[in-house]
Amino acid sequence: MSPQVMGVVNVTPDSFSDGGRFDTVEAAVAHGRALLADGADILDIGGESTRPGATRPLVAEEMARVVPVIEQLAAEGALVSVDTMRAEVAQAAVGAGAGMVNDVSGGLADPDILRVVADSGVDYVAMHWRAHSDRMSDFATYDGPGGVVAAVREELAARVEAIEEAGVAGERIILDPGLGFAKRPEHNWELLRHLEALESLGFPLLVGASRKSFLGRLLADAEGNDRDVDEREHATTAVSVVLARAGVWGIRVHDVRSTCDALRVLAALDAAD
Ligand code: PMM
Protein backbone atom coordinates (compact mmCIF):
# COMPACT_ATOMS: atom_id res chain seq x y z
CA MET A 1 0.00 0.00 0.00
CA SER A 2 1.16 3.49 -0.79
CA PRO A 3 2.00 5.51 2.35
CA GLN A 4 -0.26 8.23 3.66
CA VAL A 5 1.13 11.65 2.84
CA MET A 6 0.94 14.14 5.67
CA GLY A 7 1.32 17.74 4.51
CA VAL A 8 2.76 20.25 6.97
CA VAL A 9 1.04 23.54 7.75
CA ASN A 10 3.18 25.44 10.23
CA VAL A 11 1.23 28.41 11.58
CA THR A 12 4.36 29.83 13.20
CA PRO A 13 6.55 32.87 12.75
CA ASP A 14 9.72 30.81 13.26
CA SER A 15 9.66 27.19 11.99
CA PHE A 16 12.99 26.35 10.49
CA SER A 17 11.71 25.31 7.10
CA ASP A 18 8.71 27.52 6.45
CA GLY A 19 8.46 29.86 9.42
CA GLY A 20 6.52 33.05 8.82
CA ARG A 21 5.07 32.02 5.49
CA PHE A 22 1.66 30.86 6.70
CA ASP A 23 1.24 32.70 9.96
CA THR A 24 -2.18 34.20 9.32
CA VAL A 25 -5.36 32.10 9.37
CA GLU A 26 -6.10 32.92 5.74
CA ALA A 27 -2.63 32.03 4.53
CA ALA A 28 -2.54 28.80 6.52
CA VAL A 29 -5.98 27.69 5.31
CA ALA A 30 -5.08 28.49 1.71
CA HIS A 31 -1.86 26.52 2.11
CA GLY A 32 -3.78 23.56 3.55
CA ARG A 33 -6.15 23.59 0.59
CA ALA A 34 -3.21 23.69 -1.82
CA LEU A 35 -1.61 20.68 -0.09
CA LEU A 36 -4.89 18.74 -0.39
CA ALA A 37 -5.04 19.60 -4.09
CA ASP A 38 -1.49 18.28 -4.41
CA GLY A 39 -2.58 14.94 -2.93
CA ALA A 40 -2.14 15.19 0.86
CA ASP A 41 -4.11 12.61 2.83
CA ILE A 42 -3.65 14.39 6.17
CA LEU A 43 -2.90 18.00 7.10
CA ASP A 44 -0.63 18.48 10.11
CA ILE A 45 -1.32 21.88 11.68
CA GLY A 46 1.25 23.18 14.16
CA GLY A 47 1.59 26.37 16.18
CA GLU A 48 4.87 25.70 17.96
CA SER A 49 8.20 25.63 16.18
CA THR A 50 10.43 22.73 17.23
CA ARG A 51 13.45 23.84 15.26
CA PRO A 52 16.74 23.37 17.14
CA GLY A 53 17.05 26.06 19.82
CA ALA A 54 13.44 27.32 19.51
CA THR A 55 11.73 28.91 22.50
CA ARG A 56 8.13 27.96 23.31
CA PRO A 57 5.04 30.09 22.60
CA LEU A 58 2.46 30.66 25.36
CA VAL A 59 -0.39 28.14 25.43
CA ALA A 60 -2.93 30.81 24.48
CA GLU A 61 -0.74 31.94 21.62
CA GLU A 62 -0.33 28.41 20.27
CA MET A 63 -4.06 27.80 20.55
CA ALA A 64 -4.97 31.03 18.78
CA ARG A 65 -2.68 30.06 15.91
CA VAL A 66 -4.01 26.58 15.24
CA VAL A 67 -7.68 26.38 16.30
CA PRO A 68 -9.24 28.63 13.61
CA VAL A 69 -7.18 26.94 10.91
CA ILE A 70 -8.22 23.46 12.08
CA GLU A 71 -11.87 24.52 12.36
CA GLN A 72 -11.93 25.75 8.79
CA LEU A 73 -10.05 22.88 7.16
CA ALA A 74 -11.87 20.17 9.15
CA ALA A 75 -15.20 21.78 8.21
CA GLU A 76 -14.17 21.45 4.57
CA GLY A 77 -13.72 17.70 5.11
CA ALA A 78 -9.94 17.41 5.55
CA LEU A 79 -8.43 14.87 7.92
CA VAL A 80 -6.57 17.18 10.27
CA SER A 81 -3.78 16.39 12.70
CA VAL A 82 -2.66 18.85 15.35
CA ASP A 83 1.09 19.05 15.94
CA THR A 84 1.25 19.85 19.66
CA MET A 85 2.81 18.65 22.89
CA ARG A 86 0.19 20.32 25.07
CA ALA A 87 -2.99 18.73 26.48
CA GLU A 88 -4.94 22.00 26.40
CA VAL A 89 -4.10 22.65 22.78
CA ALA A 90 -4.89 19.03 21.84
CA GLN A 91 -8.25 19.32 23.60
CA ALA A 92 -9.16 22.52 21.75
CA ALA A 93 -7.94 21.06 18.45
CA VAL A 94 -10.04 17.93 18.81
CA GLY A 95 -13.01 20.17 19.66
CA ALA A 96 -12.33 22.07 16.45
CA GLY A 97 -12.41 18.85 14.41
CA ALA A 98 -8.89 17.38 14.47
CA GLY A 99 -8.91 13.59 14.07
CA MET A 100 -5.30 13.04 15.06
CA VAL A 101 -2.89 14.35 17.69
CA ASN A 102 0.75 14.47 16.58
CA ASP A 103 2.80 14.79 19.75
CA VAL A 104 6.53 15.12 19.07
CA SER A 105 7.19 14.33 22.73
CA GLY A 106 5.20 11.08 22.78
CA GLY A 107 3.45 12.21 25.94
CA LEU A 108 6.59 13.17 27.85
CA ALA A 109 6.21 16.96 27.70
CA ASP A 110 2.65 17.02 29.07
CA PRO A 111 1.39 13.59 30.19
CA ASP A 112 -2.20 14.94 30.42
CA ILE A 113 -2.30 14.88 26.63
CA LEU A 114 -2.73 11.10 26.83
CA ARG A 115 -5.98 11.49 28.78
CA VAL A 116 -7.27 13.91 26.12
CA VAL A 117 -6.42 11.42 23.38
CA ALA A 118 -7.92 8.48 25.32
CA ASP A 119 -11.16 10.37 26.03
CA SER A 120 -11.62 11.63 22.48
CA GLY A 121 -10.66 8.39 20.71
CA VAL A 122 -8.55 10.15 18.04
CA ASP A 123 -5.36 8.73 16.50
CA TYR A 124 -2.10 9.52 18.29
CA VAL A 125 1.37 9.92 16.81
CA ALA A 126 4.05 9.31 19.43
CA MET A 127 7.43 10.55 18.29
CA HIS A 128 10.79 9.67 19.83
CA TRP A 129 11.87 12.66 21.90
CA ARG A 130 14.25 13.35 24.75
CA ALA A 131 14.08 17.07 25.54
CA HIS A 132 12.68 20.40 24.40
CA SER A 133 14.34 21.96 21.36
CA ASP A 134 16.42 24.49 23.29
CA ARG A 135 18.28 21.61 24.99
CA MET A 136 17.87 18.62 22.72
CA SER A 137 21.37 18.70 21.23
CA ASP A 138 22.71 17.87 24.73
CA PHE A 139 20.82 14.58 24.55
CA ALA A 140 22.06 13.31 21.18
CA THR A 141 24.11 10.50 22.71
CA TYR A 142 23.49 6.85 21.94
CA ASP A 143 26.38 4.87 23.40
CA GLY A 144 24.53 1.74 24.54
CA PRO A 145 24.65 -1.62 22.74
CA GLY A 146 22.81 -1.39 19.42
CA GLY A 147 23.38 2.39 19.29
CA VAL A 148 20.68 4.78 18.20
CA VAL A 149 18.40 2.14 16.65
CA ALA A 150 18.19 0.03 19.82
CA ALA A 151 17.77 3.11 22.02
CA VAL A 152 14.98 4.63 19.94
CA ARG A 153 13.22 1.25 19.76
CA GLU A 154 13.44 0.75 23.49
CA GLU A 155 12.36 4.31 24.35
CA LEU A 156 9.40 4.12 21.95
CA ALA A 157 8.37 0.76 23.44
CA ALA A 158 8.36 2.40 26.89
CA ARG A 159 6.16 5.21 25.55
CA VAL A 160 3.72 2.70 24.06
CA GLU A 161 3.37 1.12 27.49
CA ALA A 162 2.60 4.48 29.13
CA ILE A 163 0.23 5.51 26.33
CA GLU A 164 -1.76 2.29 26.55
CA GLU A 165 -1.81 2.49 30.32
CA ALA A 166 -3.39 5.94 30.00
CA GLY A 167 -6.26 4.31 28.08
CA VAL A 168 -5.32 4.96 24.45
CA ALA A 169 -6.29 1.96 22.28
CA GLY A 170 -3.34 0.22 20.61
CA GLU A 171 -4.92 0.56 17.17
CA ARG A 172 -4.86 4.35 17.57
CA ILE A 173 -1.08 4.52 18.04
CA ILE A 174 1.38 5.52 15.30
CA LEU A 175 5.12 5.69 16.06
CA ASP A 176 7.74 8.06 14.67
CA PRO A 177 11.56 7.86 15.05
CA GLY A 178 11.81 11.65 15.37
CA LEU A 179 14.53 12.39 12.83
CA GLY A 180 16.54 15.44 13.90
CA PHE A 181 15.22 15.47 17.47
CA ALA A 182 18.19 14.88 19.78
CA LYS A 183 19.89 13.20 16.85
CA ARG A 184 22.99 14.00 14.85
CA PRO A 185 23.05 13.38 11.08
CA GLU A 186 24.62 9.92 11.44
CA HIS A 187 21.86 8.92 13.87
CA ASN A 188 19.19 9.91 11.32
CA TRP A 189 20.86 7.87 8.60
CA GLU A 190 21.16 4.82 10.83
CA LEU A 191 17.49 5.04 11.74
CA LEU A 192 16.50 5.37 8.08
CA ARG A 193 18.64 2.33 7.28
CA HIS A 194 17.01 0.19 9.99
CA LEU A 195 13.36 1.15 10.03
CA GLU A 196 12.49 -2.56 10.18
CA ALA A 197 13.73 -2.59 13.77
CA LEU A 198 11.07 0.00 14.65
CA GLU A 199 8.42 -1.64 12.46
CA SER A 200 8.92 -4.79 14.51
CA LEU A 201 7.24 -3.02 17.44
CA GLY A 202 4.02 -3.72 15.56
CA PHE A 203 2.69 -0.17 15.04
CA PRO A 204 2.39 1.94 11.89
CA LEU A 205 5.39 4.22 11.35
CA LEU A 206 5.29 7.87 10.35
CA VAL A 207 8.59 9.50 9.33
CA GLY A 208 9.46 13.15 8.79
CA ALA A 209 12.71 13.90 6.98
CA SER A 210 11.45 16.83 4.94
CA ARG A 211 13.99 19.66 4.59
CA LYS A 212 15.76 18.66 7.80
CA SER A 213 19.29 19.75 8.62
CA PHE A 214 20.84 16.33 8.05
CA LEU A 215 19.89 16.76 4.38
CA GLY A 216 21.38 20.26 4.41
CA ARG A 217 24.59 18.76 5.78
CA LEU A 218 24.59 15.97 3.20
CA LEU A 219 24.32 18.53 0.40
CA ALA A 220 26.85 20.98 1.83
CA ASP A 221 28.96 22.94 -0.66
CA ALA A 222 32.72 22.70 -1.11
CA GLU A 223 33.30 25.22 1.71
CA GLY A 224 31.24 23.09 4.08
CA ASN A 225 28.18 25.37 4.18
CA ASP A 226 24.96 23.40 4.57
CA ARG A 227 22.55 23.52 1.63
CA ASP A 228 19.85 26.11 2.20
CA VAL A 229 16.57 24.84 3.64
CA ASP A 230 14.68 25.85 0.47
CA GLU A 231 16.96 23.73 -1.66
CA ARG A 232 16.58 20.34 -0.03
CA GLU A 233 13.47 19.28 -1.93
CA HIS A 234 15.04 16.76 -4.31
CA ALA A 235 16.81 15.02 -1.45
CA THR A 236 13.54 15.02 0.50
CA THR A 237 11.80 13.31 -2.40
CA ALA A 238 14.58 10.73 -2.60
CA VAL A 239 14.04 9.96 1.09
CA SER A 240 10.30 9.60 0.44
CA VAL A 241 11.08 6.87 -2.09
CA VAL A 242 13.27 5.11 0.46
CA LEU A 243 10.52 5.37 3.08
CA ALA A 244 7.84 4.03 0.75
CA ARG A 245 10.05 1.08 -0.14
CA ALA A 246 10.66 0.44 3.56
CA GLY A 247 6.91 0.08 3.95
CA VAL A 248 6.20 2.99 6.30
CA TRP A 249 2.59 3.93 7.01
CA GLY A 250 3.07 7.67 6.53
CA ILE A 251 5.45 10.34 5.27
CA ARG A 252 5.41 13.88 6.69
CA VAL A 253 6.47 16.49 4.11
CA HIS A 254 6.23 20.19 3.31
CA ASP A 255 6.10 19.81 -0.47
CA VAL A 256 3.35 17.25 -0.99
CA ARG A 257 3.42 17.29 -4.77
CA SER A 258 6.95 15.97 -5.26
CA THR A 259 6.39 13.12 -2.81
CA CYS A 260 3.02 12.22 -4.37
CA ASP A 261 4.64 12.19 -7.81
CA ALA A 262 7.35 9.84 -6.54
CA LEU A 263 4.73 7.55 -4.98
CA ARG A 264 2.90 7.42 -8.30
CA VAL A 265 6.11 6.31 -10.00
CA LEU A 266 6.45 3.49 -7.47
CA ALA A 267 2.79 2.51 -7.88
CA ALA A 268 3.20 2.32 -11.67
CA LEU A 269 6.28 0.16 -11.21
CA ASP A 270 4.45 -2.19 -8.87
CA ALA A 271 1.47 -2.40 -11.23
CA ALA A 272 3.80 -3.55 -14.02
CA ASP A 273 4.60 -6.80 -12.18
N1 PMM B 1 9.23 17.12 12.66
C2 PMM B 1 8.96 18.40 12.91
C3 PMM B 1 7.74 18.78 13.51
N4 PMM B 1 6.81 17.83 13.82
N5 PMM B 1 6.13 15.58 13.83
C6 PMM B 1 6.38 14.29 13.57
N7 PMM B 1 5.48 13.34 13.87
N8 PMM B 1 7.57 13.89 13.02
C9 PMM B 1 8.55 14.78 12.70
O10 PMM B 1 9.61 14.35 12.21
C11 PMM B 1 8.31 16.16 12.96
C12 PMM B 1 7.06 16.52 13.54
C13 PMM B 1 10.00 19.41 12.53
O14 PMM B 1 9.57 20.63 12.21
P15 PMM B 1 9.02 21.19 10.77
O16 PMM B 1 7.54 21.05 10.84
O17 PMM B 1 9.49 22.58 10.81
O18 PMM B 1 9.62 20.35 9.69
- Residue 15 pLDDT: 60
Packing angle between helix 185-193 and helix 233-245, nearest 10 degrees?
30
Q: Which atom of ligand 1 is nearest to the CA of 17?
A: 17
- Residue 223 pLDDT: 98
- Residue 101 pLDDT: 98
In the chain (273 residues long), the average pLDDT of successive 10-residue segments reads 96 69 86 98 95 85 96 98 98 98 98 98 98 93 97 98 98 98 98 98 98 98 97 98 98 98 98 91
User: How many CA atoms lie less than 13 Å away from 217 in the CB half-sphere?
Assistant: 10
175 CB near ligand 1 (under 6 Å): no
Is residue 252 part of the annotated active site? The answer reads: yes
48 CB near ligand 1 (under 6 Å): no
CA distance linking residue 47 with residue 206, whole number of Å:
20
**Type of residue at 143:** D
CA distance linking residue 86 with residue 102, whole number of Å:
10
107 CB near ligand 1 (under 6 Å): no
Contact (Cβ atoms closer than 8 angstroms) between residue 85 and residue 104: yes
152 CB near ligand 1 (under 6 Å): no
Rounded to a whole number, what is the largest CA-CA distance in the chain?
53
15 CB near ligand 1 (under 6 Å): yes
Whole-number Å distance, alpha carbon 9 to ligand 1 midpoint, is: 10
Whole-number Å distance, alpha carbon 272 to ligand 1 midpoint, is: 34
Whole-number Å distance, alpha carbon 273 to ligand 1 midpoint, is: 35
Question: Strand 80-83 to strand 42-46: parallel, antiparallel, or no bridges (unpaired)?
Answer: parallel
State residue 80 phi and psi, 5-degree precision: -110, 135
- Residue 20 pLDDT: 65
- Residue 181 pLDDT: 97
Q: Which atom of ligand 1 is nearest to the CA of 206?
A: 7
- Residue 27 belongs to what H/E stretch? helix 25-37
Is residue 183 part of the annotated active site? The answer reads: no
- Residue 16 pLDDT: 55
- Residue 54 pLDDT: 78
CA distance linking residue 77 with residue 89, whole number of Å:
21
103 CB near ligand 1 (under 6 Å): no
Could you tell me the residue ranges of all domains in the chain? Answer: 4-272
Positive or negative torsion for Cα 272, 208, 194, 117 = negative
104 CB near ligand 1 (under 6 Å): yes
Whole-number Å distance, alpha carbon 259 to ligand 1 midpoint, is: 16
Q: What is the CATH number of domain 4-272?
A: 3.20.20.20
CA distance linking residue 166 with residue 254, whole number of Å:
32
Q: Which atom of ligand 1 is nearest to the CA of 10?
A: 16
CA distance linking residue 264 with residue 267, whole number of Å:
5
Q: Which atom of ligand 1 is nearest to the CA of 179?
A: 10
pTM: 0.96
